[in-house]
């Protein structure tokens, strides 16, 4: 059975590679460019991360990921 989880993709603009949220328990939220290391989380946790990052100079977005149960 497959479940749908989410990662938060962060675009900081310019020539930077897209980054993904690595940890949410620290301020500021830690990011990584390696999608495999990105934090896979539930929808509500991912939405909270997006809301907390919207005030900064980046464009966060939710990306769905299928994971095995």
Phi-psi region of 38 (alpha: psi -120 to 50; beta: other; left: phi over 0): beta
pLDDT surpassing 90 at residue 6: yes
Return the higher-pLDDT residue of 53 and 7.
Answer: 7
Contact present, 10 and 20 (Cβ < 8 Å) = yes
Segments making up each domain of the chain, as ranges: 2-68
Structure tokens at 28: 């500021």
Predicted local distance difference test score (pLDDT) of residue 16:
77
Q: Render pLDDT for 25-56 as a digit per residue (tens, 0 to 9).
A: 877 788 889 988 998 998 898 898 888 887 77
- Say whether pTM exceeds 0.85: no
Predicted local distance difference test score (pLDDT) of residue 15:
65
Structure tokens at 15: 């020539």
Predicted local distance difference test score (pLDDT) of residue 69:
66
Run of H or E including 53: helix 43-53
């Amino acid at each position: 059975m497959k479940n749908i989880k989410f990662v938060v993709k962060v675009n900081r603009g310019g020539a930077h590679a897209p980054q993904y949220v690595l940890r949410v328990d620290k301020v500021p939220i830690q990011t990584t460019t390696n999608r495999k290391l990105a934090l896979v989380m539930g929808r509500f946790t991912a939405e909270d991360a997006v809301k907390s990052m919207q005030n900064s100079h980046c464009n966060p977005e939710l990306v769905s990921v299928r994971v095995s149960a």
